[in-house]
Amino acid sequence: MTHAFDPTVLREYDIRGIIGETLGPDDARAIGRGFATLLKRAGGSRVAVGYDGRTSSPMLEHALVEGLNASGCDVVRVGMGPTPMLYYAEASAEDVDGGIQITGSHNPANYNGFKMVFQGRPFFGEDIQTIGRMAAAGEWDDGVGTSETREIMDEYVDRLLAPLDGLDPADLSAMRVGWDNGNGAAGPVLEALLDRLPGTHFALYTDVDGTFPNHHPDPTVEANLEDLRSLVAEKKLDFGVAFDGDGDRIGAIDGEGRVIWGDQLLMIYAEDLLVRLPNSTIIADVKASRALFDHVAKHGGKPVMWKTGHSLIKSKMKETGSPLAGEMSGHVFFADEYYGFDDALYAGVRLILASVRLGKSVTQLRGDMPAMINTPEMRFQVDESRKFAAIDEVKARLADSPAQVDGTDGVRVTTDDGWWLLRASNTQDVLVARAESDSEEGLARLMAQIDEQLRLSGLERGESVGH
């Protein structure tokens, strides 16, 4: 028996498609068979499986478990919850060798997909392509596996609260925080967490609804933070936290309604961490502000710029022993007192903790940051066959440039005006551009350089496309 995946679903960091069009139960079964075969051959035998709140998720979970069992792996079903709860199940249980979360993340309601962990490491890139090749050849081992249900939510909430042990309860009880779950999978965990979290808390949209009736659950889009901003203003809160659909990415609003972007959150976390762990390596992706890298260095840390993509960042953390990393997209990774995976609920608790330990409000911490002028992430369509080639052409043209050119992930060019970035997306047929300066005039000059490089490669910026 063989299986052919739609060519669009096997992506760099995960497997993702449109239910009923490019993704269905047969795909889930084949993923289970391939993953179980690889895990058994590597000496593992038990996989934790979780799923998000999308209407298609229970169907895919059922088929995935069938596939895992059919190739001889036992399954621990942790039920509906956020992706980090599944990561926690995989990282904390000694009898579990891998994990798969069924989730469409922040994508529209008709999407779904799979995020995977294999013996404690991210499963991505070539691993995912191997699953495709094995399916096409029907190269699966046969076996018989068992399935058990394990309730882990209470244990997970205990772990989320652990960083607050030893703090003065009075400091925590003064906190007033808003939370926007966006009808995502983290709802039940968030309710359980807020029942036990000291302070005064207000939560929006904690009921799980895979149609996302209130707003789209992507906290990197400012329009999706409007309800949270209104809540913070109305209740005079210290700050507000928002999650994406599967709870692994965080967004935030300070007490004055300003967005705290992913790299700015990392500045706060890094400042707090470096008091206790000086000289630590702090990793951020190539889209992050120069202000972050300067801030880390100023507070005695070693800033490292790395490739975009949660799997790539996690791998780099392990390689460098970094206790903290993050991306502009709101993935924040704590290996300091935690497991190194991206968990927006844990990041929310750590934001409270940073404010208390630093003795500054989140609004003050945000206000102290330099006022950089930057573009949002601009994404524009480029034919798949051209996107990486175009980046190579830009690199070649800038080889003798007086500007500082960093080729870690695409091209990031630093000049007296600031910096600009052009990189190829690993998951879509788009180029991503971003620029930052401390003046509007400088930003205009940087954008002109991007446009010039695109023109020389026969491309133009055109209209920005979505994720």
Indicate if the alpha-carbon torsion angle 341, 342, 346, 349 is positive or negative: positive
Concerning whether 355 is annotated as a catalytic residue, the answer is no
Report the 10 Å Cβ neighbour count for 126.
8
Geometric angle at alpha carbon 61, from 56 and 64, rounded to 5°: 125
b/e per residue 68-102 (b: at least 16 CB within 10 A): bbbbbbbbbbbbbbbbbbbbbbbbebeebbbbbbb
- In contact, 196 and 129? CB cutoff 8 Å: no
> What are φ and ψ of residue 35, in 5° steps?
-60, -45
Geometric angle at alpha carbon 199, from 198 and 200, rounded to 5°: 135
- In contact, 297 and 267? CB cutoff 8 Å: no
Indicate if the alpha-carbon torsion angle 33, 38, 39, 41 is positive or negative: positive
Q: Characterise 387 by phi-psi region: left (phi > 0), alpha (psi -120 to 50), beta (else).
A: alpha
Give the C-alpha separation, 362 to 452, whole Å: 40
Q: Characterise 72 by phi-psi region: left (phi > 0), alpha (psi -120 to 50), beta (else).
A: left
Which candidate in 56, 57, 71, 105 is catalytic?
Answer: 105
Instruction: State the catalytic residues.
Output: 105
